[in-house]
Chain A
Amino acid sequence: MINRTLRHVVLALIVFIWVVPFVALVTTSIRSETASKTSGFWTAFTPTELGHRFSTHDGDEFQNNVVFSGNIFDRLNTEDSNYAVTGEVTSILFKGRVPDPDNAGKTILIRKLVQPGEPMEVRDGSFVFQPNGDFEWTFPEATSPKSKNLDAFIMQDPTFGPDAYIEVLFEDKNVPNALISSFIVTIPATIIPITIAAFAAYAFAWMSFPGRDWLFVIVVSLMVVPTQLAFLPVLQGFSGIASWATQLNAWLTDCEVTDTCQVASKSFAGLWITHTAFGLPLAIYLLRNYIVGLPKELLQSARIDGANHLQIFTKIIVPLSVPALASFSIFQFLWVWNDLIVALYIGPNNAEDLVFPIRLQKQLGTFKDQLHLLNASAVISMVVPVIVFLSMQRYFIRGLLAGSVKGG
C-alpha cells in the first residue's frame, strides 16, 4: 500500500515537472505583452503588482490652467486591446534632487514610492493621485506644463486573450506558410522511409539470400553516421543534379531567363531524400527485429496455402506489424517535424518555404523580446505532433491487441 502511494507520488511529481514548461508556454502566449515581459507566468493567475510608465498628457493637451486632472488607466489604455490594464494604483516612483541636509550647497538624489493621496512635486506642480487612477495636478499659477512620464505600480487584475495567436496566424503569412511547408516535408519524409524499410525488414527477416547477415550488419552500423558529417557531400550531389536538370530544362523548353529555367538544388525533394536516407537504418533495424519475432507457423501455413512473398508481406506481415509501423512513424514524424539543422542546410531557403523550426529560430531574432508571440508560435508547432501522437496511439493499441490474439 505504501509502495503504491509512493509510486503515485513519484509519478505525479514527474508529470508535474514535465507539465510546468508547457503551462508556462501556454500561459505566456495568452498574456499581454507588458505582463509577459515584466513578470513570471506563475503570477498570471492572481492580481500582481506591475510597473507601468504613463505620460501625464499628450503634447499640448494641458493649456494655461491651474489644475489639470486625468486618469492613469485612461492614459495607459489609449490603445484598444484585449489586455486593458485594470486594478488599483498602489504607488508612483518619485525621483528628484533635493538640497542635501548634511552638505550645504550640494544636492542628493531621492527616490521614494509615493502613496495615493500624498502630494509630490512634478514640474513645480503638486501631483496627487488616487488608487482608482484619478490624478490632479495643481500649479501655483496658470501654466501649460510639458508632459511628464511617471512610473506607476499597479496591482493588476489578471487578463488573458488570444491576441498573440491572432497576430502570428493572421498578421503575416509566415507562420501559416511554415505550417504548410512543415507538412510538405514531414509527411513524405515519414511515409517513404517506412515503406522502404518494411520491405527491407521482411527481406532481412524471412528471405534467405547470400550475404544477408553482413548486409544487415552494414545497414545497422550506418545508424552511427552523424548527419552533420554528410552535409557537404550531399549538398554537392544535389547541386550537381540541379545543374544537370537546369540544362535539361533549358534544352527541352524554350526558357530564357533564370526565373523559369533554374532548378533549385535546395528543395523539398532534397529534404525527403535526406530524411529518408538517415531514417532508414534505424527503421530497418526496428522493423526487422519485430518481424523476425512473428510466429513462424503463420508464414509456413501461408506458404503451404500457396502465397508468394508479396502476398505474405501484404496480407500477413503488414497487418501484424501495425504496432511497430505506428511507433516508428511517430518517431520519424517527430524527428522530421522538429528538425532544424537538416532543413537549414539542405532545405529551400525562400522565405515562404521555410519549415516551422527555422521560422521559430528566425522569430527568436525578431521576437526575442516578445515572448508572448514566440510562445504562441511554439504552441502552434507543438499542437501538430500532439495530434499525430494521439491519433496514431489508437492504431498502436489496436495493433498490439490484434497481435496478441492472432499470435501463437
Chain B
Amino acid sequence: MTFKVKSLGTAALATIMMAGTAYAGGHSDVCNTPTALGDLGNFEGEVITIAGSMEGKDEEMLTNTISCFEKATGAVVKYSGSRDFAALIVADLRSNNAPNIAIFPQPGLAGDMAKEGHLVPLGDDLANWMANNYGAGQSWVDLGTYADANGKKDFYGFAFKMDLKSLVWYSPEQFEDNGYEIPTTMEELIALSDQMVADGNTPWCIGVESGNATGWTATDWMEDIMLRTTSPENYDRWVSNDLAFNSPEVVNAMNIYGQFSRNDDYVAGGASSVATTFFGDAPKGLFSTPASCMMHRQASFIPAFFPKKGEEVANGEADFFYFPPFASEDLGNPVLGAGTLWTMTKDSPATRAFFQFMTEASAHEAWMSQGTFLTAHKGANLDAYATPALRKQGEILSNATTFRFDASDLMPGAIGAGAFWSEMTAFANGQDAQTTADNIQAAWDAIK
C-alpha cells in the first residue's frame, strides 16, 4: 500500500516536471528577432531575481522575453510577480531581502526608495544611451532620475515597456450597425455620446476599482483632460504643485471628467457603478450580448483584459481611436503615456548585463512580437509589432505634438499613489469637484 502511494507520487512529480520542460520550450521562438542580440557575456549559473507587479498574460510575456537573456548568457532569471508589489518591495528592501531588479509601475515609489538609499545608480552611460536612443529620450531619463538621501540626483529607473494612455476603444461592428463615425474633436466625441444616449445606447464603460490602487483610472481621465484644456506648461506646474490642485484649471478638468463619469445616461450601470467596477472588467461591456456600452477610454495594455485576451484587436472585433482634443482650445495633439521603471536594487555583474540586454533592440522586439508592448526605442524594428493595431499606437506616439507622462506617476507617492486615487474614488461616489481638489491640495500641503 505504502509502495503504491509512493510510486503514484513519483509518477505525478515526473509528469509535473515534464510539463514544466515542455512549457519552457514552447516559447523560445520569440527570441528570433529581426535585429540580432549582441554579445552580453557569459554568466553561467548566476541568478538574477526580479520583482514586479506584472501578472497573468504580462508575466508570461515577460518570462518569455527574459528567457532570451537566459539563453544568451546562461544566467537564471527568477521573476516573482504580485499584485501587492508596492507593499512587498518596501518590506523586502527595508529588511535586506532586495531582489536584484525591482520593476516599479510608479516612479513616485521608486523615488521614495531611492531617497531611502535602497536603489543602485545605473550610471551615466545608460542615461546617455537612453537620452540618445529613445524617442523623447531626455524626458524618459528625467522620469528615472531621483535624489538620494543627500539630495544628489542620479539615474535609477530604466524605462522599458511603455503604455499609451490617450486611447478610446470601441467595437467597429457596433459603430457600423449603429451608423456612428469616429470623432476627431472632443466636441464631436461629446455630440456622439449624446447621439448614443438619444438612440437608447450607453456610450461609456468606466470602472476605477483596482484593489488598493482603486482610483488610478480616474486620474488618467483627469490627466488626459488637463492636457486638452490647459497648456503643457500648466500641466508640468500641476505635477510639481506650483499650480495648486484646487486651482480653477484643475477643478475645470475634473468637472469635465464628471460630465462623462457622473452622468447616469453616459455610463453603463449608472454613475454609481464607476467606483465598484474593476477596471479590467469595464471594457467587457463592449463585447457583451447585447453590448452594454459603445466606448471605453483606457491605455494600450487593456486588450489583455478583453474576453479573448486581445484576440479581438487582431480579428477586427475591437479597435481604438485617439482621445481627441477640443477644437476650441488649439492645444495640438497631446498624448499621455507611462512606462514601467526597472531599477537595480542589488548590484551584480549579471544584473548589469541584464540592463545591457534591455538596451538591445532585440530585447524590445522579442516583447513587441508577443503583443501589448510599446517601446520608444528608435532602433527597434517596427515590423516586430505583433499587430497593425500596435503599430498604429506606435505612430500615435510619434505623431504627438505634446507628450506628457502620467501625472499621478510623477507626483509624490503620498499624492500620486494615495490621495489623488482615493479622492477621485470619493469623487466617483458623489463628492463634488471643489471639495475633492481641496482635499488633495490639503494632503499635498501636509507632506511639504
Contact = CB atoms under 8 A, between A and B. Distances in A.
B300 to A, nearest CB: 18
Contacts of B91: 231-232, 235, 345
Given A107-B179, A172-B23, A351-B80, A365 B56 contact: yes
Nearest to B315: A55
Interface stretch (A185-193, A258-266, A277-285): A258-266
Contacts of A231: 91, 95
Interface stretch (A92-100, A214-222, A315-323, A393-401): A92-100
Interface in A27-43: 37-38
Interface in A336-353: 344-345, 349-352
B310 interface: no
B426 interface: no
B242 interface: no
Task: Report the contact-size class of chain B (Cβ under 8 Å from the partner).
Answer: 35 or more
A35 B290 CA distance: 15
A239 B96 contact: yes
Contacts of B178: 95, 97, 109
Contact of B46 (A52, A258, A345, A366): A258
B25 interface: no
Given A235-B91, A368-B281, A344 B45 contact: no
Nearest to B174: A95
B348 to A, nearest CB: 7
Interface stretch (B81-89, B137-145, B254-262): B81-89
B123 interface: no
Contact of B12 (A52, A176, A233, A256): A176
A364 B428 CA distance: 24
A189 to B, nearest CB: 20
Nearest to A370: B307
Interface string B188-208: 000000000001110000000
A216 B199 CA distance: 74
A259 B82 contact: no
B170 to A, nearest CB: 15
Given A258-B348, A259-B46, A369-B284, A349 B80 contact: yes
B45 A369 contact: no
B173 A149 contact: yes
B37 interface: no
A236 interface: yes
Contacts of A95: 177-178
B16 A344 contact: no
B313 to A, nearest CB: 15
A365 B177 contact: no
Nearest to B291: A151
A349 B88 CA distance: 11
B95 A344 contact: no
A232 B78 contact: no
Given A151-B289, A258-B45, A344 B12 contact: no
B28 interface: no
A366 B19 contact: no
Interface string A121-163: 0000000000000000000000000000101000000000000
B16 A176 contact: yes
B299 to A, nearest CB: 17
B177 A96 contact: yes
A406 interface: no
Contacts of A361: 82-83
Contacts of A51: 288-290
B45 A260 contact: yes
A117 interface: no
Contacts of B88: 344-345
A187 to B, nearest CB: 14
A259 B290 contact: no
Interface string A249-290: 000000011111010011000000000000000000000000
A70 interface: no
B339 to A, nearest CB: 20
B149 to A, nearest CB: 19
Interface in B316-365: 317, 348, 350
A235 B97 contact: yes
Contacts of A369: 280-281, 284, 305, 307
B49 to A, nearest CB: 8
A53 interface: yes
Contact of B47 (A238, A258, A364, A365): A258
A172 B19 contact: yes
B95 A368 contact: no
Contacts of A96: 177
A373 to B, nearest CB: 12
B278 interface: yes
Nearest to A51: B289
B20 interface: yes
Of A107, A176, A235, A349, the most chain B CB neighbours within 10 A belong to A349
Contact of A266 (B23, B44, B56, B97): B97
B56 A344 contact: no
B15 to A, nearest CB: 8
B96 A240 contact: yes
A239, A362, A365, most chain B CB atoms within 10 A = A365
A177 interface: yes
A57 to B, nearest CB: 14
A235 B348 CA distance: 22
A284 B95 CA distance: 30
A111 interface: yes
Contact of A344 (B78, B82, B96, B307): B82
A93 B290 contact: yes
Interface in B1-42: 12, 16, 19-20, 23
Given A236-B95, A344-B88, A350-B78, A366 B45 contact: no
30 contacts: A37-B307, A53-B287, A53-B289, A93-B289, A95-B177, A95-B178, A97-B179, A107-B179, A172-B23, A173-B20, A177-B16, A232-B91, A235-B95, A239-B95, A239-B96, A239-B97, A259-B46, A344-B82, A344-B84, A345-B88, A349-B51, A350-B80, A351-B79, A358-B82, A361-B82, A362-B82, A366-B57, A368-B278, A368-B280, A369-B281
Q: Which 4 residue pairs spanning A and B have beta carbons closest together?
A: A51-B289, A257-B45, A235-B95, A366-B56
Interface of A: 37-38, 51-53, 93, 95-97, 107-109, 111, 149, 151, 170, 172-173, 176-177, 231-233, 235-236, 238-240, 243, 256-260, 262, 265-266, 344-345, 349-352, 358, 361-362, 364-366, 368-369
